[in-house]
Amino acid sequence: MRWVWIRHGETDSNREHRYLGHSDVPLNIDGKRQASELAERLSRQIERPDALYASDLLRCMETAQPLADVWDVPIISVPALRELSFGDWELLTYDELMQADCERATRWYDDPFHCCPPNGESLQALGHRVDGWLCKLMDRQQREPNETTVLVAHGGVIRWFQAAWLAKDPRQYWQVDGLKHGEALFAEWDGQRWHRQRLGS
């Protein structure tokens, strides 16, 4: 069983270091270039996958489209793969957030697993959402152990997989080496545990 995780290409909000979350924004010019270059590279490294999943947010769907084109596979949109919701803090920069809601933001930074932005999610909630969907995917694929699946998602979702599934310690969420925009991570299940391999930058 092989999963290829891809972080979506860059958006203007990413470049401005804004908390993007569930806000639905398109890729910028560099993000579209990243998606196109990634599709060309992966088409040489990976045979046609058995499935291509993507977060239903536009930046992931736009990143997935060149992959769907080169492999001739449909994109299956998955709301469960959305980024952590920052609620009322979405589209703020760090400085704007600290000016607007310093006390609550400080509590969240100190304990993001249990504290959450107003009307947003904690890391624990993100993990529950992502784990629930991934466990169902893994259960289905146990019957087809040679399947290759591509998942286009967000930095926070992929960090969760790296910490909770690869390192088996969700508390390593901020310690793992997260993916850059338009970067891929290969993970393989050997029947007992997941192993990882970076596939270019």
Is the pLDDT assigned to residue 27 strictly greater than 80? yes
Mean pLDDT of 63-79: 98
pLDDT band at residue 201 using 50, 70 and 90 as cut-offs? very low
Distances (CA, A) of 196 to 44, 166, 177, 189: 19, 7, 12, 9
CA distance 135 to 142: 11
Q: Would you state the pLDDT for residue 143?
A: 80
In percent, the amount of the chain with pLDDT more than 70 equals 98
Q: Would you state the pLDDT for residue 197?
A: 74
pLDDT band at residue 191 using 50, 70 and 90 as cut-offs? confident
Q: Does 8 qualify as catalytic in the annotation?
A: yes
| Structural domain count, the chain | 1
Looking at the domain assignment, is residue 80 inside a domain? yes
Question: Does 95 appear as a known binding residue?
Answer: no
Looking at the domain assignment, is residue 155 inside a domain? yes
| 3-class SS letters over the chain | CEEEEEECCCCHHHHCCECCCCCCCCCCHHHHHHHHHHHHHHHHHCCCCCEEEECCCHHHHHHHHHHHHHHCCCEEECHHHCCCCCHHHCCCEHHHHHHHHHHHHHHHHHCCCCCCCCCCCCHHHHHHHHHHHHHHHHHHHCCCCCCEEEEEECHHHHHHHHHHHHCCCHHHCCCCCCCCCCCEEEEEECCCCEEEEECCC
Q: Would you state the pLDDT for residue 146?
A: 86
Place of tokens 């152990």: 145
Residue-range definition of the domain harbouring residue 12: 2-86+122-198
φ/ψ region of 72 (left if φ > 0, alpha if ψ in -120 to 50, else beta) reads left
pLDDT in tens, 3-26: 999 999 999 999 999 999 999 999
Question: Does 8 appear as a known binding residue?
Answer: yes
Distances (CA, A) of 37 to 17, 57, 123, 132, 200: 23, 20, 31, 32, 11
φ/ψ region of 102 (left if φ > 0, alpha if ψ in -120 to 50, else beta) reads alpha
Question: Does 178 appear as a known binding residue?
Answer: no
Question: Does 193 appear as a known binding residue?
Answer: no
Is the pLDDT assigned to residue 80 strictly greater than 70? yes
Looking at the domain assignment, is residue 59 inside a domain? yes
Question: Does 201 appear as a known binding residue?
Answer: no
Provide the CATH number for the domain around residue 11: 3.40.50.1240
Is the pLDDT assigned to residue 65 strictly greater than 50? yes
Mean pLDDT of 28-48: 96
Mean pLDDT of 22-48: 97
pLDDT band at residue 198 using 50, 70 and 90 as cut-offs? low
Q: Does 183 qualify as catalytic in the annotation?
A: no
pLDDT in tens, 154-170: 999 999 999 999 999 99
CA distance 126 to 107: 18
Mean pLDDT of 77-84: 99
Mean pLDDT of 133-153: 92
Looking at the domain assignment, is residue 169 inside a domain? yes
Q: Would you state the pLDDT for residue 183?
A: 95
| Selected catalytic residue, list 17, 37, 40, 83 | 83
Looking at the domain assignment, is residue 93 inside a domain? no
Question: Does 128 appear as a known binding residue?
Answer: no
Looking at the domain assignment, is residue 153 inside a domain? yes
Looking at the domain assignment, is residue 110 inside a domain? no
Looking at the domain assignment, is residue 174 inside a domain? yes
Q: Would you state the pLDDT for residue 142?
A: 83
